[in-house]
């Protein structure tokens, strides 16, 4: 065991340093997302969704840096990542609307002026919708009409349409305890 530790001491030290730094970065990003969530009174569920995105980003960076640390060459690593991203790119092109909705969900997290419980009107030439925001998900909004119908409205469309606030909820939502 001692021989193994001496043989790979630099790789192990580099790996520990990378993991420590990435955990620190993850903590800082999660703290920042939590502060944005609290300041904007964003629902806890939406804040936790941002935590998932942060975790995925950290895992990808860790995989790249640890592969470098353990001797995978930069050309081999670039070949692997370019192949993976090519496949992902083709898949995402085929399902671009999903990517668009996820990206819109991230934008809504940081800049959507309406909260869960607010009543909004979406001005659409085909179908005007006036409803209460019941939930804001990664791909769509859940809207409840006065008639009790549940409408799922894609996140990318909510950014493209004019939206009017009809009634704001006075109470605070659950975005205070995001940790």
- CATH number of the domain within which 159 lies: 2.30.30.60
Which of 71, 102, 121 represents a domain boundary (last residue)? 71
- Identify the pLDDT of residue 94: 67
In a domain, 140, yes or no: yes
Q: How far apart are CA 160 and CA 107, in angstroms?
A: 12
- The answer to whether residues 67 and 121 belong to one domain is no
The parts of the chain modelled with pLDDT lower than 50 are 172-179
By CB neighbour count within 10 A (0-12 exposed, 13-18 middle, 19+ buried), where does 147 fall?
exposed
Q: How far apart are CA 68 and CA 127, in angstroms?
A: 53
In a domain, 6, yes or no: yes
- Residue range(s) defining the domain that contains residue 7: 2-71
- Could you give the number of structural domains in the chain? 2
In a domain, 179, yes or no: no
- Identify the pLDDT of residue 150: 94
- Identify the pLDDT of residue 179: 38
- Identify the pLDDT of residue 171: 53
Full DSSP string of the chain: -HHHHHHTHHHHHHHHHHHHHHHHHHHHHHHHHHHHHHHTT--HHHHHHHHHHHHHHHHHHHHHHHHHHTT--HHHHHHHHHHHHHHHHHHHHHTHHHHHHHHHHHHHHHH----TT-EEEEE-SS--EEEEEEEE-SSEEEEEETT--EEEEEHHHHTTSEEEEEE---S--STT---
In a domain, 98, yes or no: no
In a domain, 177, yes or no: no
Compute how many other C-beta atoms are within 10 angstroms of the C-beta atom of residue 30: 19
Task: Copy the structure tokens of residue 33.
Answer: 């997302």
In a domain, 54, yes or no: yes
């Amino acid at each position: 065991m001692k021989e193994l530790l001496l043989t790979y001491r630099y790789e192990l030290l580099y790996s520990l340093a990378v993991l420590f730094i990435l955990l620190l970065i993850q903590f800082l990003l999660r703290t920042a997302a939590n502060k944005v969530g609290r300041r904007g009174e964003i629902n806890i569920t939406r804040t936790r969704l941002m935590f998932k995105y942060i975790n995925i980003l950290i895992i990808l960076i860790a995989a790249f840096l640890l592969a470098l640390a353990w001797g995978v060459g930069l050309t081999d690593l670039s070949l692997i990542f370019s192949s993976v991203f090519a496949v992902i790119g083709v898949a995402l092109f085929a399902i671009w609307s999903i990517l668009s909705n996820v990206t819109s969900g991230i934008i809504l997290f940081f800049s959507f002026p309406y909260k869960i419980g607010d009543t909004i009107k979406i001005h659409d030439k085909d179908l005007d919708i006036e409803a209460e925001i019941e939930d804001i998900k990664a791909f769509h909004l859940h809207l409840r009409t006065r008639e009790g119908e549940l409408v799922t409205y894609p996140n990318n469309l909510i950014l493209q349409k004019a939206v009017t606030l009809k009634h704001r909820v006075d109470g605070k939502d659950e975005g205070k305890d995001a940790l």
